[in-house]
Amino acid sequence: MPVINYIGQLFQFWNMMKAYRLILSIILLVGSTTLFAQEKPLRVIVIGAHPDDCEVGAGGLAILYANQGHAVKFVSMTNGDKGHVRMKGKELAKHRYEESMEAARKIGVTYEILDIPDGELMATLENRHEVIRLIREWEADIVISHRPNTYHPDHRYTGVLVQDAAFLVTVPNIVSKVPALKKNPLFLYFSDNFQQPNPFRPDIVVDVTSVLDGMVDLLDAHASQFYEWLPWIMQLDEPPTGAAERRAWLRAWRLPQSIITDEIEKQLLKRCPHKKLSDVKRIESFEICEYGRRVTDDEIHMLFPILCTD
């Protein structure tokens, strides 16, 4: 082979290897960026009307996120100063604050309780701005709250306030002292059984079977509600007095095995096609609010790395 041809082939080989190295570098860069995006902790804020509403509506989801190192905040729009048969006012508000802090400590989340009297929440401009502030300061990726058509006015107005904030959190000239979010969060509703004006739709279903014990811990922390107030107002038999017996009673009452409807089964298998449905004992489901961020199926899997965990 003439030397000049040999040298030419070497140059071609060298240029080809440079091109391969460039392509490989791009692949590694994109891959590492994607990996970083996936590993960056998500920020979830759950906004309930009363101390314990977040635990009831999304306690299992919160535990799963916290266990994976994501940041979760619970907010109660009212101080819960009415929900008891014996205690009331400042004494009850203080007691429920302490119960909420204990619940937060047990699972590693943040908790904030606003000083609005129980039963007196209104969908005012001031309260809307407060909700916008809360969501922005948390830099939320996901916001979860009540639907605006449930039985309690505090629940309804919390849902309205959060729903009204769903677009405004991105508008810089509203609540301008707190920087607007550059990307609208995904807004979700808790599940409920109310039918008017429209029934709940389970868009996202989370298997929380693996954290049932932690969910009992959350409810157990709110002793004034689940062992005193709710049994009284619902005219239930007195709960047991022993700690273990009370927890077993609470679990059977508040966290029974979920009924897996056809729609829930469809959503479970859509997100996690290899899930064994016979192993699913308890689920939490959420409806997507169309006023917030619009998401694809791929984005749902990015925002919900907890969906297919066991």
Mean pLDDT of the chain: 90
Q: For residues 112 and 149, give the distance between their C-alpha atoms in angstroms, rounded to a whole number.
A: 24
As given in the structure block, the two tokens for residue 302 are 């990015």
pLDDT band at 8; cut points 50, 70, 90: low
Distance, first Cα to last Cα, the chain: 64
Residue 289, pLDDT > 70, answer yes
Q: Across the chain, which distance is largest between two alpha carbons, in Å? A: 102
Angle (CA) 120-122-124 rounded to 5° is 145
- For 42-207+258-303, CATH number? 3.40.50.10320
Mean pLDDT of 142-165: 97
Please give the C-alpha separations between residue 287 and each of 48, 133, 188, in angstroms, as whole numbers: 15, 23, 5
The ranges assigned to domains in the chain are 42-207+258-303
Q: What percent of the chain has pLDDT over 90?
A: 86
pLDDT in tens, 165-196: 999 999 999 999 999 999 999 999 999 999 99
